[in-house]
Amino acid sequence: MSTSRSNRVKAVISTVTLSGAAMGWLTACGAGGENENEAREVYCVDEQDQVVDDDQCEEAERNGGFVGGLPFFFLLGGFGGNRYSVGQTIPRQYTGTATRVNPSDSTARRAAGLAGAGKVASGTRISGGIGKGSGGGSSGS
């Protein structure tokens, strides 16, 4: 093989390898950098990330995200396999990377993989999520 042909072959191989590495990196970053294998769950929380009764988010849905002047949110993320009950505060190590969704924002709810309306049970595992194009349901009455 001539030297110029050998250099072209090396350049093509390098380009393919770098493209593959870039695709792998982009895939790993995914939606918000969350590990695809990590469970994503949802909890109804107050502004201090304390888990509250699911009825609070259901009422907040009807009142622009607020109940009695206080905001409530759906908190979605990976919580290290931990389960939280009403009254427990979710640690910052999990809330910093979690997504907050206003219960009254049906578009944001669907984008996060929740039903666009209705009650969502805290602790429910969800699929889909922002940027994933899925409208998985995890609602109930």
Cβ proximity of 52 and 86 under 8 Å: yes
pLDDT band at 39 (very low <50, low <70, confident <90, very high): low
Question: Which range among 45-49, 53-57, 63-67, 129-133 shows the weakest confidence by mean pLDDT?
Answer: 129-133
**Residue % of the chain over a pLDDT of 70:** 62
Is residue 107 predicted with pLDDT exceeding 50?
A: yes
User: What's the pTM?
Assistant: 0.65
Q: How far apart, in whole angstroms, are the C-alpha atoms of residue 34 and residue 74?
A: 17
- pLDDT at site 138: 37
Mean pLDDT, rounded, of the chain: 75
Q: What is residue 19's three-state secondary structure?
A: helix
The bridge status of strand 99-101 relative to strand 70-77 is antiparallel
Lookup: tokens for 80: 């290290």
CB 104 within 8 A of CB 62: yes
